[in-house]
Amino acid sequence: MMMHYASLQGKCLLHHAMPYGRAMTTASDRLRMIREQRGYSTAVDAANAMGKKVSTYIQHENGTRGSGGLPKLAAEKYAAFFRVSLDWLVSGKGDAPEVTLDPTDDDLASMIENALRELPVGVPLGEFPRLVAPALRAQLERFRADREG
């Protein structure tokens, strides 16, 4: 049995302290961890991005569907989508995926939308890069700091 210790932000301290260590014993554990590491905060977000039924993905991630492992076809799709080796996802063997601090396209779109909201009304188009760049830089720094810690 694995204990989970949540921080004030609701993140599991055990998983953040040992992102790909021995604590992940099942394919479902690895699926959940890689989903979070790739920037999908919920299973619903990941399932929608893949075009997968939400209930099926959640059951795979929770380990409640199948006979204790991921079905081969689903595991192949998850490995390709999250850019990890199938062997690592299914068995934990091989190299663990590298942790990346790069935002996903959805993260970037959200950052741009937030930066645009901060612009004053009536700003000429030519001023956008000069005004938006500092806001985007600040959001990217916060994003990376959240991923690191």
pLDDT at 1: 36
pLDDT at 138: 84
84-142 confidence digits (pLDDT tens): 999 999 998 887 777 666 777 777 888 888 888 878 888 888 888 888 888 888 888 88
pLDDT at 122: 85
* Alpha carbon distance 59, 76 (integer Å): 16
Higher pLDDT residue, 16 or 39? 39
* Alpha carbon distance 74, 141 (integer Å): 35
Contact in structure between 52 and 65 (CB atoms under 8 Å): no
Tokens describing residue 142: 């916060």
Closest CA to 31 of 103, 73, 82, 94: 82
pLDDT at 54: 94
Written in H, E and C, the secondary structure of the chain is CCCCCECCCCCEHHHHHCCCCCCCCCHHHHHHHHHHHCCCCCHHHHHHHHCCCHHHHHHHHHCCCCCCCCCHHHHHHHHHHHCCCHHHHHHCCCCCCCCCCCCCHHHHHHHHHHHHHCCCCCCCHHHHHHHHHHHHHHHHHHHHHHHHC
49-74 confidence digits (pLDDT tens): 899 999 999 999 998 876 667 889 99
- Judging by beta carbons within 10 Å of its beta carbon (0-12, 13-18, 19+), is residue 130 exposed, middle or buried? exposed
